[in-house]
Structure 1
Amino acid sequence: MVTMTAPTPDTGEHTVSPDTGALVVDRRNGKVGVVMGHVGPYVQLRPPRGGREWDVPPEDVRPPTPTEELSAKVAVANRRWGR
């Protein structure tokens, strides 16, 4: 299940690492990913449909736009139905 949550700034305006399962966007390349975990200073993301994970600094993730979120949900649903 993909949880659609995003990183939030703390009181000092620093980015807090998103929770595992959160859907975020890598600002560096625009790819949407699901947070799989944290290793050292990095957030590990995986495409919503599955695939290879990649590492992103927490300051380089952002919440998805409504369009990006919907697209990710459709990709997950399509995979479930074999499309």
Structure 2
Amino acid sequence: MHGENLRPHIQEPPDLPAPGTLLVDTSRNNRVGEFRGVAGFYWSLRPMGGGTEWEAEPRYVRPALPIEQLRARAARANARSRGEVL
């Protein structure tokens, strides 16, 4: 039987990043957040400087570039110095 052993075209989900990995949500103006986990079909991200978590579709998420990581860490350090986050 022709095609019997062929797999249908199934898009594999992207590999899950480790919790705390800095990612960029391209669907939200390149917002940077820490990976927190999976919520159904979405990935939960949390802003580095504190604030409300949001959910993003994995297809719109990419690893943060070194400069984006630096900016996010600097923003968190500044927020901590102002007493906005612990």
TM range (shorter): 0.7 to 0.9
Shift of 1:75: 0.9
- Against the structure 1 CA distance between its residues 53 and 34, is the aligned structure 2 distance closer, same or farther, given a 3 Å change threshold? same
Shift of 1:80: 2.0
Shift of 1:44: 0.4
Q: CA RMSD in A?
A: 2.0
Bigger Rg, which one: 2
1:74 counterpart = 2:77: no
| Equivalent in the alignment of 2:48 | 48
SS in 2 for 1:16: coil
| Equivalent in the alignment of 1:38 | 38
- Segments ≥4 residues shifted beyond 6 Å: none
Distance (Å, rounded) in 2 between the aligned partners of 1:26 and 1:62? 7
Amino acid at match of 2:32: V
Structure 2 runs not aligned, ≥5 long: 1-10
Identity level (%): 42
1:62 counterpart = 2:62: yes
Q: Give me the TM-score of the superposition, normalised by structure 1.
A: 0.74
Shift of 1:15: 2.1
Amino acid at match of 1:58: P
| Equivalent in the alignment of 1:15 | 14
Corresponding pairs, count: 72
Structure 1 runs not aligned, ≥5 long: 1-11
Q: Give me the TM-score of the superposition, normalised by structure 2.
A: 0.72
